[in-house]
Structure 1
């Protein structure tokens, strides 16, 4: 797998952190429960992103309507790897994509200012038939990063990028097992 398509994430020996952004109506009950609960939809795909910066781009630093709350979802590495083992690239044969439990796409990674970089970030869509497993078995904890996100955005706007960067989660290359590396790299080749 080329360095352009490496999975980069905040991870430890047991877990990996992925990010999602929601409206307060979804985030608040989830944070209280430590899991996603209604009104979170268990009937449609949910996208998880191990790149903090990509989600900042996507949610406009928690300012986009419906994405005002940024959650760090700590999940088991076993669950992450199980999801990837079921993944099909979104640009694959449409029939294969329609049947897939998990969708994967690679999007340009983003700088703090939103500029597209020359390497890619993986996005993983957990399909509705696997969401309960994701929620009930794979999630270890949920953390509200919204205050940290807002502070970092203010620092960036004030021209204090170095101070803002101190608030970003540390991400490094996630060591995919060879079979999974082959599976997700086939998705880009």
Structure 2
């Protein structure tokens, strides 16, 4: 397993990583010409019927609160504890339309004020008040779930954005919990290369320039 590496505080992370040239804020994901894969973790009550029907309709999935989607598989593993935390025992790989994903980001507001994105605190507060989408950049994780120097995008959807996500943007839902367990077991057995071979292949996502500016991407 890799050794832990100190992660700079939020306000000290530059637009480019000072360590290896990896952009500090870059969307990395599994995607094709039409879709992007994002991850969520739920209990079986939500995950099983959602994966069976490629839809959250008819499940206890709640549209009246913010739902967070994550393009990073390993950040989802960190958040769910390899699908062991209560209510997060099933990891879903959700293929959403790229047009929907980009529509959400175009509406987004950062969760925290960033002087490199907003001219002043009041401008940020006003956008936050009306935006149905939150974005935040959290430290990406290694296969050992240790923080890396660059950051991973989390997208929170509420209101009209959550409704569009559930009803219009989702193309396919797969329960990848078995894959998650296989990777975790390989790590526990001291076989990191076996574990890495089972990881999804994530690539830098080509954000339109205006959207990159909106979300403070590198």
**TM-score interval, normalised by the smaller of the two chains:** over 0.9
Question: Please, which runs of 5 or more residues in structure 2 have no aligned partner?
Answer: 1-14, 17-22, 114-123
- What is the alpha-carbon distance in structure 2 between the residues aligned to residue 21 and residue 158 of structure 1? 24
Aligned match of 2:108: 87
Report the alpha carbon displacement of residue 99 of structure 1 after superposing the two structures with TM. 2.3
How do 1:22-37 and structure 2 match up within 5 A?
22-37=42-57
Give every structure 1 segment of 4 or more consecutive aligned residues whose post-TM-superposition deviation is greater than 2 Å.
92-99
Report the alpha carbon displacement of residue 128 of structure 1 after superposing the two structures with TM. 2.6
Tell me the number of residue pairs that the alignment of Structure 1 and Structure 2 aligns: 187
Residues 95-104 or 6-15, more deviating: 95-104
**Per-residue CA shift, 1:112-153, capped at 9, x if unaligned?**
111100000000001133222111111010011000000100
More strand by share: 1
Report the alpha carbon displacement of residue 95 of structure 1 after superposing the two structures with TM. 4.9
Decide which of 139, 148, 165 is 1:108's aligned counterpart: 139
How do 1:32-181 and structure 2 match up within 5 A?
32-37=52-57, 38-92=59-113, 93-181=124-212
Report the alpha carbon displacement of residue 94 of structure 1 after superposing the two structures with TM. 4.4
Aligned match of 1:7: 27
Report the alpha carbon displacement of residue 183 of structure 1 after superposing the two structures with TM. 1.0
Report the alpha carbon displacement of residue 184 of structure 1 after superposing the two structures with TM. 1.2
Partner of 1:179, secondary structure, is: helix
- What is the alpha-carbon distance in structure 1 between the residues aligned to residue 202 and residue 52 of structure 2? 27
From the CA coordinates, give the structure whose radius of gyration is larger.
Answer: 2
- What is the alpha-carbon distance in structure 2 between the residues aligned to residue 98 and residue 45 of structure 1? 14
Partner of 2:154, secondary structure, is: strand
Report the alpha carbon displacement of residue 96 of structure 1 after superposing the two structures with TM. 3.2
Is contact 2:105–2:215 with CA below 8 Å preserved after alignment?
yes
Is contact 2:63–2:158 with CA below 8 Å preserved after alignment?
no
Report the alpha carbon displacement of residue 24 of structure 1 after superposing the two structures with TM. 0.7
Aligned match of 2:38: 18
- What is the alpha-carbon distance in structure 2 between the residues aligned to residue 130 and residue 80 of structure 1? 10
Partner of 1:130, secondary structure, is: helix
- What is the alpha-carbon distance in structure 2 between the residues aligned to residue 96 and residue 177 of structure 1? 20
